[in-house]
Structure 1
Amino acid sequence: MTDDTGVLHRDGAGPVADFLASFGGDVDAAIAALRAHHGGTPTASPAPRRPRRERSGDHIIAVTDLRKTYRMGRQRVAALGGVSLEIDRGEFVALTGASGSGKSTLLQIIGGLDKASGGTVLIDGVDIGRLGDAKLSRFRNRTIGFVFQFFYLQPFLRLVTNTEVPGMFARTPRKQRKAQALRLIDEVGLSDRSRHLPREMSGGQMQRAAIARALLNQPAVLLADEPTGNLDSAAGASIIELFERIRDEFGTTIVIVTHDDELAQRADRTIRLSDGLIVPSGVVA
């Protein structure tokens, strides 16, 4: 019970009474201590980051004076105004910048999903701007894996079959692609979900599944557009760790577009864009 000063007097024994007694019966002080101790909803943090890779100078991606202009009615809008960059084999790079800065456009052109208005993109020595549609499609399927914010898993296919899809387009023998799919599903921690449909998995599990699918053809380059954008902090943390492991264990070059500062900081290098141009290191856009 309390007196008119608001101090609780101990009428009986027990853990709650003992705890309050340690604050002299002051309820407000006890509540403040509990709040300080429990401090809101805990959020998941990624494991300690793996060491950054030093640049090797072995460029797998070389972009030179890349320009992209869109026509909107009578106006022409420059999404990229002459971007040049090089990304090394096995490097993990984050593209950052405000909405409309051109980072997603840059990623799509590097991946051959969009055509540049000018400039060149070399992927593993191949000028993808010179490839016709059929050759570009085959090159993408063999060399580049894609991970998107919205998973794009086929809702009527079980996880193992969803993961096999790139191998179907590559005409990989069924037995071989299924074995590869199951191995990758295990690598991303989903071996107990191989027979599940997408609706039976969480958002984090679906994104891991999408990453496994992107790796099926053992691409040299993995491109990801806002891969943690639809995930909670715990799932996002697990995806960060997974990208680091893919870089280290598979030797895959990873390029991501992200607004997630935690994810960007875990990359080997961050490239920031503003108004269709790369912001020089040390300059605040």
Structure 2
Amino acid sequence: MTDDSREPFRGGTGTVADFLASFDGDVDAAIAALRAHHGGTPPVARVPRRPRRERSGDHIITVSDLRKTYKMGRQKVSALGGVSLEIDRGEFVALTGASGSGKSTLLQIIGGLDKPSGGTVLVDGVDIGRLGDAKLSRFRNRTIGFVFQFFYLQPFLRLATNTEVPGMFARTPRKQRRAQALSLIEEVGLSDRSRHLPREMSGGQMQRAAIARALLNQPAVLLADEPTGNLDSATGASIIELFERIRDEFGTTIVIVTHDDDLALRADRTIRLSDGVIVAQDVVA
């Protein structure tokens, strides 16, 4: 076991022990000095933005005049008021906006988890609004992967089996889906956790596991709703990098809903919503 107190101190010269010694071992005073040195709070490492990709014009998602109204008692509440947008194959897009702006509703309708009150959604050339429940379920399982804020891993299944679940619904042969699951587990950096239960993993590891599961059926589109919402900044940064690697290596189209400015900045394009309509497109968050 290494002695971290003898590691070089990155905030100045000498070691951590030397720095603490200058405050007679008073850790609180040392932390206060660090905060003062850094303008009040210690610096948070940010993932530098990569160059934005040029749009290809090959639309994999086309949304036209999308409307969604909910009934709340005798009142009708408009969640989406005529949204139109196009997302290209292989593009990484962030949907942003304040709570109640309609971004999560838009994501759910694109993913076929909710039905619109009006308008159309084409995903990979299919008008998903025209599909019956059985056909829509098969289409989602084959074409769209979902990642949510709360992971939704089965608590009684080990990681490898959790990752296989979409393949079970797709009737993928057991040997094939296990091989795919283990390959994806390695891809997201969890090879040493394949036999662990969710409770034996950290939040970041569970989110990586959820991403591996979402990719099992090789979906053309990956939809993520607040994927870093329950993670600390360092773990969230690693999830950002994982999304980018998935897009680069698999050519997956990624659409995320996020309040995280750092995550939005990493996307190729940001679409901002307010009160159920798009107020800005093709912008840097």
Give the structure-2-normalised TM-score.
0.85
Amino acid at match of 2:46: S
Distance in 1 between the 2:55 and 2:66 partners?
A: 22
Structure 1: gaps of 5 or more residues: 1-14, 21-27
What is residue 23 of structure 1 aligned with on the other side?
none
Which residue pairs with 1:168 in the alignment?
168
Map residues 26-65 of structure 1 onto 2, 5 A cutoff. Answer: 35-36=36-37, 40-41=41-42, 43-46=44-47, 48-65=48-65
Q: What SS is found at the alignment partner of 1:145?
A: strand
Q: After superposition, where does 1:1-285 map in structure 2 within 5 Å?
A: 35-36=36-37, 40-41=41-42, 43-46=44-47, 48-281=48-281
Which is greater in Rg? Answer: 1
Shift of 1:41: 4.6
**1:137 counterpart letter in structure 2:** S
- Which letter does structure 1 place at the counterpart of 2:176? Q
In 1, the alpha carbon distance for the partners of 2:183 and 2:131 equals 32
Secondary structure of 1:280's aligned partner: strand
RMSD: 2.2
Say if 1:188 and 1:212, in contact at 8 Å, map to a contact too: yes
The C-alpha deviation readout for 1:33-55, integer Å capped at 9, x for no partner, is 89527975553433x33332110
Once the two structures are TM-superposed, the CA of residue 91 in structure 1 deviates from its matched residue by: 0.2
Contact 1:67 1:81 in 2 (8 A): yes
**Alignment-mate amino acid for residue 36 of structure 1:** H
Question: Could you say if the C-alpha distance between residues 33 and 93 of structure 1 is closer, same or farther in structure 2, counting changes exceeding 3 Å?
Answer: closer
Stretch moving more, 146-155 or 48-57 = 48-57
Shift of 1:101: 0.5
Give SS of 1:171's match: coil
CA apart distance, 1:254: 0.2
Superposed CA deviations along residues 153-174 of structure 1, whole A, max 9, x for unmatched, are 0000000000000000000011
Q: 1:72 to 1:251 in 2, by over 3 A?
A: same
Inter-partner Cα distance in structure 1 for 2:41 and 2:61? 44
Is the Cα contact below 8 Å between 2:158 and 2:195 reproduced in 1? yes
Contact conserved, 1:50 with 1:244, CA < 8 A, in 2?
A: no
Distance verdict in 2 for CA 1:281–1:141, change over 3 Å: closer
Structure 2, unaligned runs of 5 or more: 1-17, 24-28
- Paired amino acid for 2:160: V
Q: What is the alpha-carbon distance in structure 1 between the residues aligned to residue 126 and residue 117 of structure 2?
A: 18
- Residues in 2 aligned to 1:235 and 1:229: alpha-carbon distance in whole angstroms: 11
> In 1, are the aligned partners of 2:80 and 2:106 still within 8 Å (CA)?
yes
Name the CA distance, whole Å, in 1 between partners of 2:143 and 2:103: 21
Distance 1:213 1:116, change over 3 A: same
Question: Separation in 2 of the partners of 1:61 and 1:281?
Answer: 15
* Per-residue CA distance 1:118-167 (angstroms, 9 max, x = gap): 00000011000000000000000000000000000000000000000000
Structure 1 length as normaliser, TM-score?
0.85
Contact persistence 2:81–2:276 (CA under 8 A): yes
